[in-house]
């Protein structure tokens, strides 16, 4: 999440919980199984396409705000105040 908050797209394997923050093709790439060739293809694509890297990175930065300590603290406080 740190890389995403810095505006970098994320590439991860499906085995890592990602559903809440990483959307395949929008804020980065999710690789099925342990497909090393798919991982390298995604990384090469990001290295060779600065515009795509910037676009996914910007989306990643926006998505990462959902996991910031300030955002989570506000959600907890709202929950407590509703009780």
pTM for this prediction? 0.74
Length of the chain: 83
Contacts of 75 (CB under 8 A, 6+ apart): none
pLDDT at 45: 96
pLDDT tens for the 83 residues of the chain, in order = 688 889 999 898 887 666 777 888 899 999 988 889 999 999 999 999 999 999 999 999 998 887 777 877 887 888 888 86
Q: Cα–Cα distance between 58 and 7 in angstroms, integer?
A: 5
């Amino acid at each position: 999440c740190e890389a995403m908050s810095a505006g970098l797209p994320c590439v991860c394997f499906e085995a890592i919980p990602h559903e809440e923050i990483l959307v395949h093709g929008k804020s980065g790439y999710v690789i099925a199984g342990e497909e090393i060739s798919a991982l390298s293809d995604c990384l090469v694509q990001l290295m060779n396409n600065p515009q795509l890297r910037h676009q996914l990175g910007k989306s990643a930065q926006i998505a990462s705000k959902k996991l910031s300590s300030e955002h989570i603290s506000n959600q907890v406080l709202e929950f407590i105040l509703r009780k």
